[in-house]
Structure 1
Amino acid sequence: MGGRVSALQLESTHLQQSTNAAAHKTSSFMSKNLIVRRGQPFTIDLTFNRPVQASDNLKLSITTGSINIDLPIQIPSPSDAVPWSASCTLKSNTLTVSINTPVNAVIGCYAMTLSFASGWTGASSSLGNVYVLFNPWAKGDAVYMENEAEKNEYVMNENGVIFFGSSPTPKARPWDFAQFEEDILNIILKILDCSTDYKRDPKKDVSQRLDPVHVGRVLSAMINVQNDNGVLVGNWSGDYAGGERPTKWNGSSDILRRWMKNGPVQFGQCWVFAGVLCTALRCLGIPARVITNFASAHDTDENLIVDRYFDEEGKESSETSDSIWNFHVWVEAWFARNDIGSAYDGWQVLDSTPQEASEGLYRLGPCSVKAIKEGDLDLNYDAPFVFAEVNGDVTDWLMNADNSTKKISSNTRTVGKLTSTKAINSDARVDVTKDYKYDEGSAKEREIFNKARGKLAGTGFGARRSTVAFSAENTAPAPKPDFKGSFKYNSDIEVGRDVTFSLNLKNTIASDMSLQVNFTASAIVYTGTVVKDILSNSQSVKLGPNEENSIPYTIPFAEYDKAITADNMIKVVAVCIDEKGGKLLVDNVITLKNPPIMMKILDQAQLNKKLSVEITLTNPTPDEARDCVLTVEGSGLVKEQITIQVPQMKKNQKYVKKVEILPYRSGPRYLVVDFSSDKITDVKGSLPINVTSK
């Protein structure tokens, strides 16, 4: 007679992290956890004290939140794999279990437990956790993206640039997304669990995490601090006491770790919100890219028209809260829109900058880019606001001394210029304006604008809409004066130099003309908000028949030094009035350049081997620079930000510093440095470094 079969005992578990990570393209994560992408199987090895038998009744339970999946492990396994199924092969005492996840599995951290019964006894053992992410490589996943180069850029790339400045002079700043750095995935999942949606109904919220529409909308609310214990506190005042200047940040990891440790982080502005949101999306497997829209409208009353009011001295009034930002930055995420129809699949706008509430929370999107281009503003989510950002019309009004107003210009082409993102495999700028609107000046563009305005006029839509916007007075063209004007300036003016420019005026009629020119220059933040006036003056100008004349202006460094913010922006406005009462407003924003930072590596970059980097910078101002600080960081190169106190620097003095770093991850990396002093702040430099494994 055969002996009694001994009770089954689990002796060891091997989650095959390396093998699974290679198959699931998660090897870049700096984690010892098992991280997989949904819609494809992963395998684990279970070693027992004896060969497993069918009578042992093995069952694998996989649990996240209130969701529990029980998978019987059958021996022999059925040939047909179904969503959330487990199959196995047995070799001696080791059972290799292949677990199949569906393409619409809820993403998140799952606990795995094995239970079995042998005879009259039963037992269960924890097998550890598995992190399940979205899978842009799996057909059928809502985030599936066909092009391999696009997936490598929008999911796998940790380094990028974010464009800023103004449309005449777009600039780029480096950004380290760092989505695969240690602990970042856990922090992103913690952010989801801190959301208002989760607190209201945890079961419902977790069950909806299968849909990138829901996950993207939750993250867009959570990256700002409004309504919840979100990540970043916004500040556009120019005064950043008590926190970091928004221009100081070079990447997302430091911000996310500070939030995890101490709660909301001070301070952020649009590109910081966008950089962190892009990190969160890429980390979870949702393809994402950062978008910069120059001359971006903030239309508070949802009428697609930006009304700006100026007094006769050229100072902008607070009569309206509409505005035009020099640039605004948001994120596009790639996924299907099962909620509004497949015609709107593809890139979706998500924005964490807290501007206007959406369904009670400060968030924006996801909003289909295709819906914006076609003027379909009655679709989820927040389409009227995005449409106005890229294609609103602008009306400028002059406020007279008696508080009466007179329309001085209407412009259909001012808003939405050089809408830009980073190129694939390059830091070059790619213009995606045509994704958002038809060519300015074309009949199709006006057709779509009128269609969009008609959608807003529908009953009950656009709660913040102002009916004044559709009146004949507001939409009628403004009278044109008999002269033209424009500012001319050098786009390469550096901080520390005097700012020189001119106002060019042209008489368009064949008779003499006298003009009164009222000029103001102000330091602004990039949203256009005036922080401090720099200078103002008035003068009379005479123009002969059809004559063109140029008025020169100079703003010495000493006059703007204490006024200018870290945005390096000076707004110049001229209100020109002729003797007949013809009025023209001319405005522009001059963005000053920071001096370059030169960087070079002195050795070959190898994994876990010290590397010397030489950093060279110059004080470009006519004054001594004090309180000089240099910071160095970069995922894969510097685990903790390096801070270096730099001695006081005299006028035009050059400073050279050698810094030692220890690369801890191989592959293409970016070293990012930031230099600040009492004279110039947040001068950036970046250096691509390819780290070899040996």
Structure 2
Amino acid sequence: MSEPTSGGSSSRRPLASYVGRRITPSNNSNAEENEVLDFEYFGLSPRGPPNLEAFLEIWSVDIHPNPDDVNKRQHHTALYDCSNLIVRRGQSFQITITVSRAFDVEKDKLWIEFLIVYELILIFCFKVNSDIVYWNRQKDGSLIKGDVKTDEIGKLILTKEIESDNRKDITDQYKYEEGSQEERMALDTAIQHGVKKEQAVTDVTMDVSLDMHVPENVLLGTNFIVDVELQNNSNEKRSMTVFLSGNVVFYTGVPKIEIKKETIKVTVEPNQVHRAQVRIKSKDYVDHLVEQSILHFFSSGHVDETGQTLVVQKAVPLLIPRMNMRAEGPAMFGHEVTIVIEFTNPLRKPLEHLVLRIDGLDSRKPKLKLFSILPENATLTTRELFVPRKRGQRKVIASLDCSALRQVVGELELNVT
């Protein structure tokens, strides 16, 4: 630090003017400072607005997710009640990026990154144009391509109609019509950006076809027939061995238990068709059903002369009988209404420990009723009283559940006046 001067008129050394802070503490006495101070340099920051010509800033990114925007109109997804963007695989969509200045294609670079995370802003539709390819495993462990099914995925896509309980076919909103020019272009685009063209699935030439016919409406607890059809399209005899397997499956398609196993050996004359029938009895599957009551049949065949492999599979959702519901008399606001619920046991055995749930009776929780047993072919009839507290349309729903029979439901539309 400095020493005090002897004369009052002595000259003072000018203090340095620097930007920063002192390295040492300032003098806390009355003595004058006549030496150059040491400062820690901070550096100078530019003042005023930045030069917009030197920077390229992303101001906004618009993926046009609204129903009236171009993406949902071109992809036919505007009717879905979803605020996010819904696009179809293999079809282009538009993105608008707003920047701070004119974009120079030669100098400026722009990176666009799509992240697939849990809360994805882009929702890609399911794969509805895929092929089913069956592979044969050889004794040495190698795989040889067998039968190929090109038209079994994406046949029918359904949803619930607006303000109705009916179903609506929306297949054309997920995919183009099979064989159309738009469908071919979408497939070529998917192959170009995904699977290499030389690895694309192609049809396998076969002179023998295998098909399986199952009744469309099979009521749970009844017997039915599975027809296996073998058609020889060649001018020579064909000897074939066909294996049929029937399983009870979960809703995911995972087998639970095999209920039927059949082997068919036959020789088909040239350009002829052979049909074999396999009978499925209710006692084979009724004790093994799970929630969705689905049976799955898988049939594979082998041609002795050519070594061709034939494969076909069918899923059979069994029809579950519904409960009958009706109201005795008109439904009036503030007046007691009687609802009658009836259900007939379709199985050839009694149902035990039944639980009936009724919802829509102006109560917070569904009402439960317990029944110990329902004999074979017997009808369960119960009545429920409630007082409507609101006018207008309403729905009462009932469900019946037991270990041998699942998802038995019934519903009743009421117009409360």
Supply the AA of the counterpart residue of 1:504: E
Instruction: Give the Å deviation of 1:478.
Output: 4.3
Cα separation, 2, equivalents of 1:590 and 1:483: 25
2:246 is aligned, of 521, 527, 552, to 521
Cα separation, 2, equivalents of 1:603 and 1:379: 60
The answer to whether 1:374 aligns with 2:91 is yes
Contact kept, 8 Å, 1:599 with 1:687, in 2: the verdict is yes
Contact kept, 8 Å, 2:65 with 2:86, in 1: the verdict is no
Cα separation, 1, equivalents of 2:121 and 2:225: 41
Cα separation, 2, equivalents of 1:371 and 1:578: 40
Distance change >3 Å, CA 371–CA 521, structure 1 → 2: closer
2:335 is aligned, of 597, 600, 609, to 609
Cα separation, 2, equivalents of 1:396 and 1:375: 31
Aligned partner of 1:589 in structure 2 is 315
Contact kept, 8 Å, 2:219 with 2:320, in 1: the verdict is yes
Supply the AA of the counterpart residue of 1:408: G
> Which stretch shifts more, 368-377 or 396-405?
368-377
Supply the AA of the counterpart residue of 2:335: K
Cα separation, 1, equivalents of 2:369 and 2:384: 9
Contact kept, 8 Å, 1:375 with 1:448, in 2: the verdict is no
Cα separation, 2, equivalents of 1:587 and 1:542: 22
Instruction: Give the Å deviation of 1:567.
Output: 0.8
Equivalent residue runs for 1:136-151 within 5 Å: none
Deviations 1:509-552 (A, max 9, x none): 12211111111111112222222222223231221121212111
Partner secondary structure for residue 289 of structure 2: coil
Contact kept, 8 Å, 2:345 with 2:375, in 1: the verdict is yes
Equivalent residue runs for 1:221-620 within 5 Å: 337=65, 342-345=69-72, 347=77, 368-372=85-89, 374-376=91-93, 386-455=124-193, 457=194, 469-470=195-196, 472=198, 474-579=199-304, 580-620=306-346
Partner secondary structure for residue 648 of structure 1: strand
Deviations 1:223-263 (A, max 9, x none): xxxxxxxxxxxxxxxxxxxxxxxxxxxxxxxxxxxxxxxxx
Distance change >3 Å, CA 438–CA 371, structure 1 → 2: same
Cα separation, 2, equivalents of 1:517 and 1:632: 48
Cα separation, 2, equivalents of 1:454 and 1:341: 30
Instruction: Give the Å deviation of 1:375.
Output: 4.9
Instruction: Give the Å deviation of 1:448.
Output: 1.1
Contact kept, 8 Å, 1:350 with 1:367, in 2: the verdict is no
Contact kept, 8 Å, 2:86 with 2:122, in 1: the verdict is no
Cα separation, 2, equivalents of 1:383 and 1:395: 32
Cα separation, 1, equivalents of 2:162 and 2:247: 38
Structure label with greater radius of gyration: 2
Supply the AA of the counterpart residue of 1:563: H
Contact kept, 8 Å, 1:367 with 1:380, in 2: the verdict is no
Cα separation, 2, equivalents of 1:551 and 1:408: 23
Partner secondary structure for residue 391 of structure 1: coil
Supply the AA of the counterpart residue of 1:538: T
Supply the AA of the counterpart residue of 1:565: V
Aligned partner of 2:349 in structure 1 is 623
Cα separation, 1, equivalents of 2:114 and 2:155: 24
TM-score norm. by structure 2 comes to 0.71
Partner secondary structure for residue 302 of structure 2: strand
Instruction: Give the Å deviation of 1:603.
Output: 2.3
Contact kept, 8 Å, 1:630 with 1:674, in 2: the verdict is yes
Partner secondary structure for residue 599 of structure 1: strand
Instruction: Give the Å deviation of 1:653.
Output: 1.0
Contact kept, 8 Å, 1:375 with 1:387, in 2: the verdict is no
Instruction: Give the Å deviation of 1:578.
Output: 0.4
Contact kept, 8 Å, 1:613 with 1:660, in 2: the verdict is yes
Supply the AA of the counterpart residue of 2:65: R
Cα separation, 1, equivalents of 2:80 and 2:258: 35
Instruction: Give the Å deviation of 1:592.
Output: 0.6
Distance change >3 Å, CA 385–CA 501, structure 1 → 2: farther
Contact kept, 8 Å, 1:409 with 1:477, in 2: the verdict is no
Aligned residues, how many? 331
Deviations 1:276-325 (A, max 9, x none): xxxxxxxxxxxxxxxxxxxxxxxxxxxxxxxxxxxxxxxxxxxxxxxxxx
Deviations 1:72-117 (A, max 9, x none): xxxxxxxxxxxxxxxxxxxxxxxxxxxxxxxxxxxxxxxxxxxxxx
Structure with the largest fraction of helix? 1
Partner secondary structure for residue 417 of structure 1: coil
The CA RMSD measured in Å over matched residues stands at: 3.1
Cα separation, 2, equivalents of 1:336 and 1:478: 39
Distance change >3 Å, CA 608–CA 392, structure 1 → 2: farther
The answer to whether 1:691 aligns with 2:416 is yes
Distance change >3 Å, CA 443–CA 416, structure 1 → 2: same
Distance change >3 Å, CA 659–CA 477, structure 1 → 2: same
Cα separation, 2, equivalents of 1:663 and 1:686: 16
Partner secondary structure for residue 639 of structure 1: coil
Identity across matched positions, percent: 21
Instruction: Give the Å deviation of 1:388.
Output: 4.2
Cα separation, 1, equivalents of 2:348 and 2:68: 60
Instruction: Give the Å deviation of 1:370.
Output: 4.8
Partner secondary structure for residue 267 of structure 2: strand
Supply the AA of the counterpart residue of 1:630: L
Distance change >3 Å, CA 663–CA 452, structure 1 → 2: farther
Supply the AA of the counterpart residue of 1:374: Q
Cα separation, 1, equivalents of 2:244 and 2:217: 22
Aligned partner of 2:382 in structure 1 is 657
Equivalent residue runs for 1:45-124 within 5 Å: none
Cα separation, 2, equivalents of 1:660 and 1:341: 48
Instruction: Give the Å deviation of 1:376.
Output: 4.6
Instruction: Give the Å deviation of 1:367.
Output: 5.8
Contact kept, 8 Å, 1:483 with 1:505, in 2: the verdict is yes
Contact kept, 8 Å, 1:413 with 1:441, in 2: the verdict is no
Contact kept, 8 Å, 1:676 with 1:683, in 2: the verdict is yes
Instruction: Give the Å deviation of 1:642.
Output: 1.0
Instruction: Give the Å deviation of 1:661.
Output: 2.6
Contact kept, 8 Å, 1:632 with 1:642, in 2: the verdict is yes
Cα separation, 2, equivalents of 1:503 and 1:384: 44
Cα separation, 2, equivalents of 1:573 and 1:510: 28
Supply the AA of the counterpart residue of 1:342: D
Partner secondary structure for residue 366 of structure 2: strand
Deviations 1:370-389 (A, max 9, x none): 54473559978769984443
Cα separation, 2, equivalents of 1:630 and 1:575: 43
The answer to whether 1:633 aligns with 2:359 is yes
Contact kept, 8 Å, 2:88 with 2:124, in 1: the verdict is no
Distance change >3 Å, CA 611–CA 538, structure 1 → 2: same
Distance change >3 Å, CA 550–CA 386, structure 1 → 2: farther
Distance change >3 Å, CA 623–CA 341, structure 1 → 2: closer
